[in-house]
Amino acid sequence: MTPEFLRACVENSWMIVALPFFVGFAIITCFMLAGLDIGQRRWFKTSSMVLSVGAITIGFLHSLLILQAFLVDPSLSGFQLNFDWFTCEQFKLSVGILVDNLTVMMLIVVTTVSMLVQIYTHGYMRDDPGYARFYSYLSLFTGSMLGLVVSTNLFQMYGFWELVGVCSYFLIGFWWYKNSAAAACLKAFVVNRVGDFGFLIGVLMFFFVTKEFWSGGTILAFTKEVGGNDLAGAIQQAVASNTLAPDAGFVLTVIALLIFMGPMAKSAQFPLHVWLPDAMEGPTPISALIHAATMVAAGIYLVARAYPVFLSPTGGTDSTALLVVASVGAFTAFMAATIAMSQYDIKRVLAWSTCSQLGYMFVGLGAGAFSAGLFHLMTHAFFKAMLFLGSGAVIIGLHHEQDIRKMGGLMGPMKKTAIPFLIGTATIAGCPPFAAFFSKDEIVSAAYAYNPIIGIVLIVTAGLTAFYMFRLYFLVFSGEFRGHGEPHEVSPVMWGPLWALAVPSLFAGVMLGFNKLSFFENTPAANAFGSFVYFGHPHQEVVNWSMVGISTGVALLGFIVAYVMYVAKSWTPNEAIAKNQGLLYRISYNKWYIDHFYLWLVNSIFLPAFENVWRVLDSVFVDQVIVNGSSIVTVATGEALRYTQTGRGQYYALVIFFWVAVLAWIGFIFCP
């Protein structure tokens, strides 16, 4: 491949975003509006699948070419192209394409997972009457996430951020005729609006305090362009000019935490996490896409892309905002892991697992381990997509059964699904040499160095993760079958993507994880991933071998406990052990009662308060002041004017003369 060809691939990266929108979504939707899907014609369903999968496959190959271009010529990184979207005398807003190392990493993750999910969808949804509509939604969803990834500024990112939220509403509620699905998509939409409101206010506040420092370039830009500025530069100039006075640190912290409300909702962090488990009401392919590479990954990507906002005014990681990010992530990781231990729906166990793993990523970013947090984002995307697609295969193989208590013994009849599911389970548990062993232990080491309490919380969470994931695996694939009907293996179009995702789950850590120098000599050195995706400079957190050993040992203990309870069955009855704990089990099973608290808050506080306020406004202001008041004024005015209608010409002439005199006097006084 010539340098000119690789440069052209970078300069035409907009096609990666455009293809899912215009080939996948627009064409399929136009066909449906034209009525070509009447009766679910086979040719139309096949065409919809080919268009959607073809668009994202081309995007995947294009992303690989951009990666190759950056490896051959690093100077190509940082390419951006902006267009004016709105201009006025005070400022202009732009949209465009930014392609740098962080972008291409996310492009590969999103296109890889989305491509395999869409291939899998053909087997999972082929008998569904909304087959073509589902593919059009998938294309729109993927295109929205890709648009978010290539955004050049916070304004553009916010637009695609909202579009991702709308797509999640469509897909979670895809089976809208189910009351549970309708409620779940509404819940996701409302909770995300709460976080997005804070995000919007934070962006507006940041623009207000930095509006003088964009030098006529792209406003709120992530990276500099010729004659422009970026987030870090604008902050430094605002601090130097005392625009953020009297307390720059406090103002930046408020802005950062408001912006962080968006990622808290999108990435399901406490206390805005409650929508994610309910999102399992959507079809399994969209569960895999949401939990692996699109919606929840958007929050991590936003914090990484807007990282200068979360730093201290001097550019250090010792900021209050990053401490909050790390603390929220650690608490969410632990809380979600404790909840997953007692759940019985196979998809909800994985959903709570996603909440927990996202907490790890936020801890990495909050502790200053920028590349470690993003490395776990990448590895998690692959093994979590594999686990969700594997759960969908189990559901189909068991005739739409999702209760793990009615499964068991599936290793025999569903071996092609069971093996990659085992790989995913071992990966998320942090077993060496799987990918998450490298990414999670980097985060644990950095977290312990940053704050020992946070590090200990993550170590405990690692043990809980190993326990609930192997509990899930043993209940589903080992022992005797406890369900009804005859289990069967799914088609190759469904188990094929599982094996494809197993490859990076197995080898990504070994290929991109610890650098040999840092791995064996305990010295900081940039590994392959940290050298490619970094903030400020290539870096590698010092490996704390004590923390690595303790974390791995705790995870091993979790595996042993799960094995003893669910395979060896030395402790019986298995679930009764947890139930006998009384309060602790009820807290876990009822999700720490957070949903109950929110329902009580809404039904007992917010809605009654709204009803009372509205009753007062309706009865006093609307009825008495507006309705009755306006009628009284109208009647009184009519009564007063009635006496002016006498029918006498002399009276009318007198009124006319009076007003002519008044107007003449006004003109004489006020006009020159």
Tokens 């136009």 label which residue?
A: 30
Is the pLDDT score of 572 beyond 60? no
**Of the candidates 359, 323, 324, which has an alpha carbon nearest to the alpha carbon of residue 338?**
359
Q: In this structure, are residues 373 and 333 in contact, taking their beta carbons and an 8 Å threshold?
A: no
Ordered DSSP codes for 220-279: TBSS--TT---HHHHHHHHHHTTTT-S-HHHHHHHHHHHHHHHHHHHTT-TTS-THHHHG
Give the tens place of pLDDT for each residue, 150-183. 999 999 999 999 999 999 899 998 888 888 888 8
Q: For residue 300, what pLDDT band results from cuts at 50, 70 and 90?
A: very high
Q: In this structure, are residues 215 and 228 in contact, taking their beta carbons and an 8 Å threshold?
A: yes
CA distance 504 to 176: 35
**Of the candidates 19, 161, 595, which has an alpha carbon nearest to the alpha carbon of residue 339?**
595
Give the tens place of pLDDT for each residue, 512-531. 765 544 455 555 555 677 77
CA distance 160 to 149: 9
Percent of the chain clearing pLDDT 90 (strictly above) = 35
Reading the block at residue 134, the tokens are 């589902």
> Residue 517's pLDDT is what?
46
Give the tens place of pLDDT for each residue, 351-399. 999 999 999 999 999 998 888 889 899 999 999 999 999 999 999 989 8
Average pLDDT over every residue of 285-301: 87
Q: In this structure, are residues 141 and 288 in contact, taking their beta carbons and an 8 Å threshold?
A: no
Tokens 């005797």 label which residue?
A: 480
CA distance 158 to 172: 21
Tell me how far the alpha carbon of residue 84 is from its chain's centroid.
27
Helices (H), 267-319: 275-278, 284-292, 295-305, 307-310
Least confident range of 37-41, 178-182, 348-352, 498-502: 37-41
Give the tens place of pLDDT for each residue, 240-280. 888 776 677 788 999 999 999 999 999 989 999 998 888 88
CA distance 595 to 144: 29
Is the pLDDT score of 483 beyond 80? no
CA distance 94 to 230: 14
> Residue 457's pLDDT is what?
94
Q: How far is CA 146 from CA 16, 150, 470, 599, in A?
A: 8, 6, 34, 35
> Residue 573's pLDDT is what?
45
Average pLDDT over every residue of 427-441: 86
> Residue 568's pLDDT is what?
79
CA distance 579 to 585: 6
Average pLDDT over every residue of 334-363: 92
CA dihedral 144, 146, 147, 150 (to 10 degrees): 160
CA distance 206 to 230: 12
Reading the block at residue 625, the tokens are 């002041």
Mean pLDDT of the chain: 85
Q: In this structure, are residues 428 and 464 in contact, taking their beta carbons and an 8 Å threshold?
A: no
Reading the block at residue 245, the tokens are 């006075």
Q: What is the pTM (predicted TM-score) of this model? A: 0.88
Tokens 């405990």 label which residue?
A: 460
Q: For residue 314, what pLDDT band results from cuts at 50, 70 and 90?
A: confident
Reading the block at residue 199, the tokens are 């995000």
Average pLDDT over every residue of 602-607: 85
Q: In this structure, are residues 494 and 124 in contact, taking their beta carbons and an 8 Å threshold?
A: yes
CA distance 88 to 94: 12
Ordered DSSP codes for 163-194: HHHHHHHHHHTSSTTSHHHHHHHHHHHHHHHH
Is the pLDDT score of 324 beyond 50? yes
CA dihedral 402, 403, 408, 414 (to 10 degrees): 0
> Residue 247's pLDDT is what?
77
Q: For residue 36, what pLDDT band results from cuts at 50, 70 and 90?
A: low
Q: For residue 238, what pLDDT band results from cuts at 50, 70 and 90?
A: confident
CA distance 467 to 560: 8
CA distance 340 to 462: 13
Give the tens place of pLDDT for each residue, 132-141. 888 999 999 9
Q: For residue 629, what pLDDT band results from cuts at 50, 70 and 90?
A: confident
Is the pLDDT score of 614 beyond 60? yes
Is the pLDDT score of 197 beyond 90? yes
> Residue 516's pLDDT is what?
46
